[in-house]
């Protein structure tokens, strides 16, 4: 009999090059052993985690930064593993891979990021010092990789993704170093370093990996009812914890407090405009789960740079409001063009959720920075703009630097994505065929029973007696 | 062919008045633009979030209230969006709407609540000051709206819900002002202000919106296996984080600590009595998911007022134990009567989870307050009962005030719900027909594939070849 | 007609001894009333939760331990109720029971644990003092019971589980007292007290409750697609919050900070080796969800004892890396042997996730302790090893004590599990028949509609027209 259910079964036998029995273990083992050796040679506890160093100076146990950063870290951690992981489970037959590969590459990326960021951002005495701040920064860098994962979701093997993670983390750290250390850019929530970088890197990779015959697996590149419900878990955790994300590494005190507050208002306003635009752009006025799951988060992305600044709740809400509108319009009108004209198959629409809102956030940050004055920030100016206060560069210079940083980030992301895309295109990683994209059973044990359940959910070209398939 | 699957398809074409293409965007845009303007005119950072004000006085960055309230805020935030959102996904074909409309009206309500609560609870220099405490209070107020949403779940359009949210938030703020500011009532966890108010307001709205022919969509007003699993996510997050909810805005120090502890014990005892009563009230002794999902939470509601007082673990457990019993009995015996006699169709049974336990919590609070003495509270009396200590009203007066506050709240909720119910009854919001209640596909894009999946889950009056429906 | 769907319906009528109408309410009510009485007699607020005691001494409200333990507590709480609860929902027809019985026995166990741990670990003036530390400890003890639950999952009645919880909590408290108080063992994250004890206790219970004819319900002892997705929610919450778990009750300051960091690296390395081994041990190189859901957590278990020590990130990663390998090998090769040779039917494979990694963690802890020196720990030595510093036992003695503690724990667990297993084997608790194991509908209301949905997911020996079953 024909029908997609049978096609799925055929896949299993046919494309044996996707067999991961050696490729994946070898990659994982080599990478992890290298990591362990480098950690052994290079990594040390910082002065807040080392028993001797901490007790060497005189302070209360309660002054340890653990108590002022760790709750934020845990929220960020949930966003990385549950938020990103479940957001991508919207595909009907790709839930294991979405949440499972997200888990795998995040676990790798956070280790590699610890080394790369530590290397670029200040080794002390030849050692990388780790503590809760390095954990947050590593999770941030990981987030960038997961954004790129969203662009190529369903079309890559786990080995390809690990390779991408290694290179992208490295380039992320270089870009972050240029911005934060060399240029003195402010980007606490990563509108540029995380979202813009991750999105355009991933889009360029997707461009290089363009599959002209992806239509073959088109029927699986969509959601079913329960997969959309799982995706909403991811969406809501990202939405709820975004204030923690943007404020996780800002200066202590009012800075963290203000950043969380700004992001909270930006997201709330964004949600209203997302629902409005989703209904408005549909002929029948029905809400589209794709918009709700994604565009409602654009307010967090767009507040990533300016969130720590005196953006005011008023400003935050305007930013979020516009971000939601832009993002829905992107999903509705721009994504099809990206695919047809630019040959970029952006599975999760990261251009709409992270790309455009990230650029918008960078611009908002540049403008807000250029308007900073001692009158508005008082003695807090030095926390938000250490390069400006007390007698550094002018606020408008800072704004200019912010704008330059956006350009640098875009350049790094596009060139980096191009190069890494070609590395990922080598036919040695066991990538799926065009017809077996968006399909868990290529890389995961999915029993015939499990297959039956999901098979019923796909569109069959002709009536199929679903139960009798079981006996094939 | 007949069968519910086909009926569902018919709905789509027939009731075109449910088209949200203009209604929803116009409502969202107008509300959000009004909000943005009012925020621009009225809202300022408080002294803990403003860069200048914070740095004006001399203190450690670590003294910022962010570090002592924000973790509680995040737990409350999860309860609002994941807890309430997923608790209501138990309906088989209403998951998108449950979690999606919850998201929408919560995002609106928290913005509007910030303004209303700020207006009533102390503008300074003509400005509303915002920070982590206003965020928690706004989320609390939002919780009340979501309780009312539970009563009308499945029977309203998103525009109706937004209208309800605007009015309910306003009345909530008035009632809260009367209780907390005018009467000096103690209600940190909101047994009265949040639960009693939200429940009876929602019940009155449901009464006004009574649908005599709701039987037409009866087959969809129930759960399926996976929808009950999703609902358990909501239940457990509410259960786990309720100690944070009740303690989120109590005084710092022992008060927050004690409130969390009392709530923890109340919930644990409530869970045991809920399981016991669920089995006891079933002929075959089988547990009912409705009870587990809801009644096990009644212990948190009932400890909302007295939680911050010296209720003792012993007292907390008795309160929780009784709350669980009352709640299950309500689901089993009272809800059917409410529907048949009082014409209140309470979809989620909010009367059993929030109404009766809320009233019980208010009474427990009144009794506990009237027993407060300097011997028991020591110098902590002023934190828990600032109106009593050092030489204010007597403890029994405080108890009397607490009891009066319950009456005020019930009155405000019932009258408010009545009025707002009639506003919501206007035939301009695109409410679903009786036959299309509890159905996502009225307001959401649900592809035929998605529809197929859910269609198979409904009871059909006669055998239906489910696959051939696909080809219609 | 034959087919598993029909079999499921037959069960309902046939095994009436599983009726919980009296058994469960009587058990719950008696246990809860005993608990309430004992709490009334024995339990008091500690000095951080009592209004009078707290205000008696002179300190800032912000010094209350609530602010330094409660965020960790909430993470642990999520692990207990969402983590363990959803991890066990992988079974296709046992989701209600997995998450629901987990909820019930955890709610009981944490109350009973408060009494037992309070009794053994220091009553003051005849009273047990409670606060956030007792809440964390009670949740820890509960975790041990839930591990044992995993071994017998699907084969016990809720009454049996409550009986197990009461006895296991008691024995847990005795073992914990011997280790922590008598021997001065260090085991902050519970590699021994929680994981080793819970696993071997549960395995021995499973041995006593061995069912030779469990094959009858074999077709239900496996997952389906969506149940594996729900289980991943549990896995990820356990994974993300494990750093909070291991650090929840270590000393304040660098100790908590270091423990979280070590656990974070151990888990990350463990994830890589788990994926590698899962692909390597499959003929077709496909990843197995069982491994990902479970073995990726072994790194947290294995870092439970040494996590607070100066294990270094390097050491932590090696530990995690090896734990993942051992755990996957256990699932693949050891579990079948345990069942066929030792007659231990370990439903969740707790031997692989908690047993072996727990023993490994104990050994790592013993070795790390024996290597402790003043040079490495400085003045922090007294926090990590109070029995060693300043002039107590030698580090190698501490190491020896740690090794002895493992032996004591294993002995207590095996003997305790044996005895409690026989108590649980009494034919009075309404245990399911061999054919009705792994089946929610024995103890839960599952409407025919719900049944239909799940029925379709089981393997039928011959084609079944699933819709017509509805009309039977």
Q: Which residue has the higher pLDDT, B448 or A266?
A: A266
Q: Are B354 and B297 in contact (CB under 8 A)?
A: no
pLDDT score at A4: 38
Q: What is the ipTM of this complex?
A: 0.93
Chains with 3+ CB–CB pairs under 8 A to C are: A, B
Condensed to tens digits (0 to 9), the pLDDT of residues B252-280 reads 999 999 999 999 999 999 999 999 999 99
Within an 8 Å CB–CB cutoff, is residue C126 touching chain B?
no
Residue C337 confidence (pLDDT) above 50: yes
Q: In angstroms, how far is the first alpha carbon of chain A from the final one?
A: 10
Condensed to tens digits (0 to 9), the pLDDT of residues B364-379 reads 999 999 999 999 999 9
3-state SS of B179-199 is: HHHHHCCCCCCCHHHHHHHHH
Q: Which chain B residues touch C453 with a CB distance below 8 Å?
A: 224-226, 456-457
Tokens of B397: 């007066």
Which chain A residue has its CA at the smallest distance from C267's CA? Answer: A107
Q: Which chain C residues touch B459 with a CB distance below 8 Å?
A: 448-449, 470
Tokens of B153: 């779940």
Tokens of C67: 């602010």
Cα–Cα distance measured from residue B322 to residue B327, given in angstroms and rounded to the nearest whole number: 9
pLDDT score at B353: 98
Q: What global pTM score does this model have?
A: 0.93
Tokens of C66: 């609530």
pLDDT score at A198: 98
Residues of chain A with pLDDT under 50: 1-16, 452-472
Q: How far is CA A344 from the centre of its chain?
A: 18
pLDDT band at B470 (very low <50, low <70, confident <90, very high): very low
Residue B456 confidence (pLDDT) above 90: no
Nearest CA to C29 among C138, C217, C162, C147? C162
pLDDT score at C58: 84
The DSSP annotation for C67-113 comes to HHHHHHHHHHHHIIIIIHHHHGGGBTT-HHHHHHHHHHHHHHHHHHH
Within an 8 Å CB–CB cutoff, is residue A31 touching chain C?
yes
pLDDT score at C50: 95
Report CB contact under 8 Å: C19, B321. Answer: no
In chain A, which among 411-440 make CB contacts under 8 A with chain B? none
Cα–Cα distance measured from residue B321 to residue B227, given in angstroms and rounded to the nearest whole number: 28
Q: Which chain B residues touch A260 with a CB distance below 8 Å?
A: 66, 70, 132
In chain B, which among 215-244 make CB contacts under 8 A with chain A? 226, 230, 233
Condensed to tens digits (0 to 9), the pLDDT of residues C306-330 reads 999 999 999 999 999 999 999 999 9
Condensed to tens digits (0 to 9), the pLDDT of residues C9-52 reads 334 333 448 899 999 999 999 999 999 999 999 999 999 999 99
Q: Are A287 and A278 in contact (CB under 8 A)?
A: yes
Residue C387 confidence (pLDDT) above 90: yes
Chains with 3+ CB–CB pairs under 8 A to A are: B, C
Tokens of A368: 């807000």
**Which of A276, A283, A289 minimises the CB distance to B28?**
A276
Cα–Cα distance measured from residue C258 to residue C405, given in angstroms and rounded to the nearest whole number: 23
pLDDT score at A5: 37
Most C-contacting residue of B236, B247, B254, B295 (CB-CB within 10 A), to test interface: B254
pLDDT score at C448: 56
Within an 8 Å CB–CB cutoff, is residue A21 touching chain C?
yes
Torsion of CA B54, B60, B66, B72, to 10 degrees: -160
* pLDDT, average across residues B323-331: 98
The DSSP annotation for A210-227 comes to --TTGGGGGGGSSB-HHH
pLDDT score at A466: 32
Specify the DSSP element, H or E, that contains B181.
none
Residue C287 phi/psi, 5-degree rounding, is -70, 145
Range list of β-strands (E), B128-209: 128-130
Report CB contact under 8 Å: A380, B52. Answer: yes
Nearest CA to A186 among A364, A45, A13? A364
The DSSP annotation for A10-68 comes to HHHHH-GGG--TTHHHHHHHHHHHHHHHHHHHHEEE-TTT-HHHHHHS---GGGSTHHH
Q: Which chain A residues touch B50 with a CB distance below 8 Å?
A: 254, 258, 310, 380
Within an 8 Å CB–CB cutoff, is residue C272 touching chain A?
yes
On the question of a cis peptide bond just before residue C310, with omega within 30 degrees of 0, the verdict is: no
Q: Are A277 and A329 in contact (CB under 8 A)?
A: yes
pLDDT band at B457 (very low <50, low <70, confident <90, very high): very low
Report CB contact under 8 Å: C287, A444. Answer: yes
Condensed to tens digits (0 to 9), the pLDDT of residues C218-236 reads 889 999 999 999 999 999 9
pLDDT score at A391: 80
pLDDT score at A447: 73
pLDDT score at B4: 38
Cα–Cα distance measured from residue B404 to residue B157, given in angstroms and rounded to the nearest whole number: 36
Condensed to tens digits (0 to 9), the pLDDT of residues B388-443 reads 977 789 999 999 999 999 999 999 999 999 999 999 999 999 999 999 999 999 99
Give the position of tokens 């409705």. Answer: B290
* DSSP single-letter state for residue A194: I
pLDDT score at B13: 37
Mean residue pLDDT across chain B:
91
Cα–Cα distance measured from residue B75 to residue B105, given in angstroms and rounded to the nearest whole number: 19
Within an 8 Å CB–CB cutoff, is residue C389 touching chain A?
no
Which chain C residue has its CA at the smallest distance from B3's CA? Answer: C467
């Amino acid at each position: 009999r024909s029908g997609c259910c049978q096609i799925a079964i055929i896949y299993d036998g046919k494309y044996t090059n996707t067999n991961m029995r050696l490729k994946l273990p070898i990659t994982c083992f080599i990478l992890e052993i290298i990591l362990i050796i480098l950690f052994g040679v290079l990594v040390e506890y910082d002065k807040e985690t080392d028993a001797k160093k901490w007790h060497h100076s005189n302070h209360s146990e309660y002054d340890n930064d653990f108590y002022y950063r760790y709750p934020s870290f845990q929220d960020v951690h949930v966003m990385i593993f549950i938020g990103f992981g479940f957001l991508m489970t919207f595909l009907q037959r790709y839930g294991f891979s979405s949440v499972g590969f997200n888990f795998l590459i995040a676990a790798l990326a956070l280790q590699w990021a610890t080394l790369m960021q530590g290397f670029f951002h200040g080794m002390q005495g030849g050692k990388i010092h780790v503590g809760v701040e390095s954990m947050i920064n590593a999770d941030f860098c990981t987030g960038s990789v997961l954004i790129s994962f969203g662009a190529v979701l369903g079309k890559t093997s786990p080995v390809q993704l690990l390779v991408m993670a290694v290179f992208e983390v490295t380039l992320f750290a270089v870009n972050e170093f240029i911005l934060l250390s060399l240029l003195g850019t402010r980007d606490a929530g990563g509108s540029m370093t995380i979202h813009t970088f991750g999105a355009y890197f991933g889009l360029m990779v997707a461009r290089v990996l363009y599959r002209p015959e992806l239509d073959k697996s088109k029927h699986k590149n969509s959601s079913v009812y329960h997969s959309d419900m799982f995706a909403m878990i991811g969406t809501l955790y990202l939405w709820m914890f975004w204030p923690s994300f943007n404020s996780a590494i800002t200066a202590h005190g009012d800075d963290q407090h203000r950043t969380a507050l700004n992001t909270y208002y930006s997201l709330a306003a964004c949600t209203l405009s997302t629902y409005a635009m989703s209904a408005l752009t549909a002929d029948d006025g029905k809400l589209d789960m794709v918009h709700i799951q994604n565009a409602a988060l654009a307010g967090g992305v767009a507040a990533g740079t300016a969130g720590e600044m005196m953006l005011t709740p008023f400003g935050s809400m305007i930013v979020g409001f516009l971000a939601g509108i832009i993002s829905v319009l992107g999903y509705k009108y721009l994504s099809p063009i990206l695919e047809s004209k630019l040959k970029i198959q952006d599975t999760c629409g990261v251009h709409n959720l992270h790309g455009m809102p990230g650029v918008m956030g960078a611009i908002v940050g540049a403008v807000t920075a250029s308007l900073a004055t001692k009158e508005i920030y008082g003695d807090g100016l030095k926390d938000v703009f250490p390069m400006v206060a007390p007698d550094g560069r002018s606020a408008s210079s800072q704004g200019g630097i912010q704008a330059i940083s956006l350009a640098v980030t875009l350049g790094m992301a596009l060139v980096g994505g191009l190069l890494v895309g070609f590395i990922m295109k080598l036919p040695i990683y066991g990538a799926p065929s065009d017809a077996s994209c968006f399909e868990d059973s290529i890389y995961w044990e999915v029993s015939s029973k499990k297959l039956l359940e999901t098979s019923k959910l796909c569109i069959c070209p002709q009536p199929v007696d679903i139960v009798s398939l079981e006996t094939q």
